[in-house]
Amino acid sequence: MSSPRPARAAALALVGALSACQNFASISPGTPWREVEQRFGPANLVARNPDGSELREYPRGISTGYERFLIDIDGNGTVRSVQQVLADKYVSRVRIGMSKDEVRGILGSPFQVVTFARRNEEVWTWPYEDTGADMLFHVYFDRSTGVVRTAEKFVDQDKTMTGD
């Protein structure tokens, strides 16, 4: 006879993950940043802009890979927008010649970074879901210049990132 504890733990984890997603969707423009931070804790990454605004990153999902929320905060400390950026709409914005900071500003921090010294390349990878398919998006940077050489997306048939 098996114990119901693993099933109960899995169900609680799923409920927690789903409620976290819904909570992010409930953040509306004009919300004071302090309220957001009280509900969700500190951001994974904070990028400060010269105009005093900030972009704060919150990864969520399977090992923090499938969802990445970027919250844009104005110079007065209020939310301007909340975006779940691991989606084709955002992936398609990455262009050859962009800097690492520009790419991070679109997609947030990469799930994985791999360096290929002989090719003078650094590859950033993000797993995401697109219409039910597990996808991988790779951005290849020239290590000398720090700009995008190329980018590609494909179906992760082997579940290499999520291990499913």
Query: What letter represents residue 83's amino acid?
Result: Q
pLDDT at 59: 84
* Within a domain: 160: no
Q: What gap in Å lies between CA 107 and CA 90, rounded to an integer?
A: 7
Last residue of a domain, one of 67, 84, 101: 84
Q: Residue 69's domain spans which residues?
A: 28-84
In order along its 164 residues, the chain shows pLDDT tens digits of 444 545 544 444 444 444 444 478 889 999 999 999 998 889 988 989 899 999 999 887 655 457 889 999 999 999 999 999 999 999 999 999 999 999 999 999 999 999 999 999 999 999 988 887 888 999 999 999 999 999 999 888 776 655 55
Same domain, yes or no, for 125 and 143?
yes
pLDDT at 12: 41
Longest alpha-carbon distance in the chain:
62
Same domain, yes or no, for 76 and 95?
no
Q: What gap in Å lies between CA 25 and CA 14, rounded to an integer?
A: 17
Decide: 81 and 72 in contact? Cβ < 8 Å: yes
* Within a domain: 6: no
Same domain, yes or no, for 92 and 151?
yes
Give me the residue label for tokens 């991988």. 136
- CATH code at position 113: 3.30.1450.10
Q: How many domains does the chain have?
A: 2
Same domain, yes or no, for 104 and 77?
no
Same domain, yes or no, for 150 and 113?
yes
* Within a domain: 5: no
Same domain, yes or no, for 98 and 71?
no
Same domain, yes or no, for 60 and 100?
no
Decide: 55 and 46 in contact? Cβ < 8 Å: yes
pLDDT at 96: 98
Both structure tokens of 152: 């590609």
pTM score = 0.76
Same domain, yes or no, for 100 and 149?
yes
Q: Is 17 exposed, middle or buried (0-12, 13-18, 19+ CB in 10 A)?
A: middle
pLDDT at 20: 44
* Within a domain: 22: no
